[in-house]
Amino acid sequence: MQDITLVLQAGGKSTRMGRDKALVPFGGRTMIEYILQQTEGLAQDTIIITNTPEAYQFLQLPLFPDVIPDWGALGGLYSAIFHAPQNTCLVLACDMPFINRPLLAHFISLIADYDAVIPHLDPTGNKMPAFAEPFRAVYRKSCLPPIKAAIDAGQRRVISFFDQVNIRFVDRHEIEVYDPGLQTFLNVNTKEDLLKAEQIAQRRGT
């Protein structure tokens, strides 16, 4: 167990799915329960960011709303880091169901010398931040002032604060040592995505 908070980001509107992605049935439970089962014992504590706390009370975990309402993914990330009890937090999206614990442990092992450790999936090695995966990443509280400054400046893109913090990007070739198929980055946005993820879960036996 690490001195780190696991934050599950469940604040998306799920417009393409048509219902709350975190609560869709998956692997015999809800998707968020499927994630929680895989992350058990990974962090010192676990919290959930949601603006519909009544829907998540059954999990019996601390629930927190967005600090700055209606500010999209950047506002959600700010809320995740802000509410985390620990100085360091692992932020996971609720619509990426497959957890690779060795990979996440690798991210956590790198954070001591950085403000954030963020995976970067461009196969060409291009360092453009557009290829970053900010909701499979580790952050320190030192990211809060730069994110707030970006929000105050009217920025909404998650990458808008990247140049103001010290980030360790974990490139694709480094990630593939732990996860050759990049399954941990499979994002479930549509019913078709959900079907694909269910087929993978069956093959994994989870």
Helix (H) or strand (E) holding 7: strand 2-9
**DSSP secondary structure, 11-59, as one string:** ----TTTSS-GGGSEETTEEHHHHHHHHHTTSEEEEEEE-S-GGGTGGG
Task: Report DSSP state, residue 146.
Answer: H
The Cβ-side half-sphere exposure at 71, using a 13 Å CA radius, reads: 23
Tokens of 29: 């439970």
Helix residue ranges per DSSP H, 115-190: 144-152, 172-175
The predicted model gives 29-41 an average pLDDT of 95
* Per-residue pLDDT tens digits for 135-192: 999 999 999 999 999 999 999 999 999 999 999 999 999 999 999 999 999 999 888 9
Which residue segments constitute the domains of the chain, with CATH numbers given? Answer: 2-204 (3.90.550.10)
3-state helix, strand, coil in the chain (%, to 5): 40, 20, 35
| Helix 72-83 × helix 144-152 angle, to 10° | 150
Helix (H) or strand (E) holding 130: none
Closest alpha carbon to 170 in 99, 90, 111: 111
Going through 42-140 in order, the beta strands assigned E by DSSP cover: 43-49, 63-64, 88-93, 116-120, 136-140
Residue 2's pLDDT band, with cuts at 50, 70 and 90, is: low
pTM of the predicted structure, to 2 decimals: 0.93
